[in-house]
Amino acid sequence: EGLSGRVAATGQPLFVPRLQAEDLRDERVPEGMPFLQHYGPHSVIVVPLGVRGRVLGTLGVMREARGREYSVEERALLESLAARAALAIEDARRYGAATQAVKARDELLSVAGHELKSPLNALQLQIHLLARMAREAMAVDGLAERAERAAKAGQRLGLLIDDLLDVSRLSSGRLGLKREEVDLAALTRELVGRMSEELALAGNEVRLLLDRPVSGHWDRLRLEQVLVNLLTNAAKYGAGRPVTVEVEAVGPVARLSVRDEGIGVSPEEQERIFEQFERSASVQHFKGLGLGLWITKRIVEAHGGSIRLASEPGKGSTFTVELPLPA
């Protein structure tokens, strides 16, 4: 609004050799009117700070017109200064973004290296023990258990690597969806059954509320990823208390909710935990890359849906996913 707003909106410079208070009476925002009424007419130039087709702001000067009005040459000089200033501002912004990207990359490499090393060491140890036991005897007590531990360590390593690959796909907009007819209720029951051992080890009893089929045109594997992330999150932070999983059709959407009774998340952190490499300050001692909820949100949004969190410290968390149903 006002003279500067007009320049910012149009991208065109404003050059008034002799601006008087009466000239501003019809302006929606008559900025400077009391000043002009008191000091008399002033010469005014306002130019846009424009770069690469965008207006970042404006640069304005004014002086008493009774002395000497601004000339066309002075207007050209101010436009030249504004162009250089705009380039400097844009370069500073780009440098800041690049610095943040490099910092994020370095943090990722540091955290990823630490997190990938643990399951890899466990995997190598189990494989070494398996090889030694196999040499000693073809059938030794504990051989199957060792093999199972090695498989689990390899599975965790694979999941971490998949998360890192998804970061690349999502950042470059290459997350393709292979849509098919999927019953979300049946998929949830299957996933909970598949993760029953992991949930039991965490001490979580799972209550399923799946009254009837809820079908839509979604990517099965990606929805499995969403469910695994939410259930793993509930097992990790649920403090060994019951977890309730509910799937229902509510009007035009399918609603999936995963509710735990664990440590909860403070209000000021509830948006932040959906960001890349972010976790709640109260759970920093838990392992993880801080990518699960970020990936989950991007997958849900790619389906045209939404995810939200309702939580209170010490009283658990409820993650609610809504996906559009066929018309």
pLDDT for the residue 320 = 95
pLDDT for the residue 315 = 86
Q: What pTM was computed for the model?
A: 0.53
**CATH of the domain spanning 3-70:** 3.30.450.340
pLDDT for the residue 281 = 45
pLDDT for the residue 313 = 86
Give the N- to C-terminal CA distance of the chain in Å, as an integer.
44
Q: How far is 133 from 263, CA to CA, in rounded Å?
A: 42
Q: Which of 248, 123, 239 is nearest to 183 (CA)?
A: 248
Tokens representing 234 are 């509930």
Q: How far is 216 from 235, CA to CA, in rounded Å?
A: 27
pLDDT for the residue 140 = 54
**CATH of the domain spanning 101-172:** 1.10.287.130
Q: How far is 300 from 298, CA to CA, in rounded Å?
A: 5
What is the chain's pLDDT, residue by residue, as a tens digit (327 residues)? 788 888 999 999 999 998 888 888 777 767 778 888 888 889 999 999 999 888 999 999 999 988 788 999 999 999 999 999 999 999 999 999 888 887 777 677 666 666 676 677 777 777 777 767 766 665 555 666 666 666 666 766 766 666 666 666 666 566 778 899 999 999 999 988 888 877 887 788 889 999 899 999 998 988 988 998 899 888 888 878 889 999 999 999 999 999 998 888 888 777 778 776 555 544 444 555 567 888 889 889 989 999 999 988 888 899 999 999 987
Give the start-to-end residue ranges of the domains of the chain. 3-70, 101-172, 180-324
Q: What is the dihedral of CA 101, 102, 104, 107, to 10 degrees?
A: 180
Q: Which residues contact 69 (CB under 8 A, 6 or more apart)?
A: 17, 18, 43
Tokens representing 93 are 């912004």
Count other Cβ atoms within 10 Å, centred on residue 267.
9
Give the CB-side neighbour count of residue 294, counting CA atoms within 13 A.
Answer: 20
SS3 string, the chain, reads CHHHHHHHHHCCCEEEEEECHHHHCCCCCCCCHHHHHHHCCEEEEEEEEEECCEEEEEEEEEEECCCCCCCHHHHHHHHHHHHHHHHHHHHHHHHHHHHHHHHHHHHHHHHHHHHHHHHHHHHHHHHHHHHHHHHHCCCCCCHHHHHHHHHHHHHHHHHHHHHHHHHHHHHCCCCCCCEEEEEHHHHHHHHHHHCHHHHHHCCCCEEEEECCCCEEEEEHHHHHHHHHHHHHHHHHHCCCCCEEEEEEEECCEEEEEEEECCCCCCHHHCCHHHCCCCCCHHHCCCCCCCCHHHHHHHHHHHCCCEEEEEECCCCCEEEEEEEECCC
Tokens representing 169 are 């796909």
CATH-assigned architecture of domain 180-324: 2-Layer Sandwich (3.30)
Q: Chain centroid to CA 184: how far?
A: 24
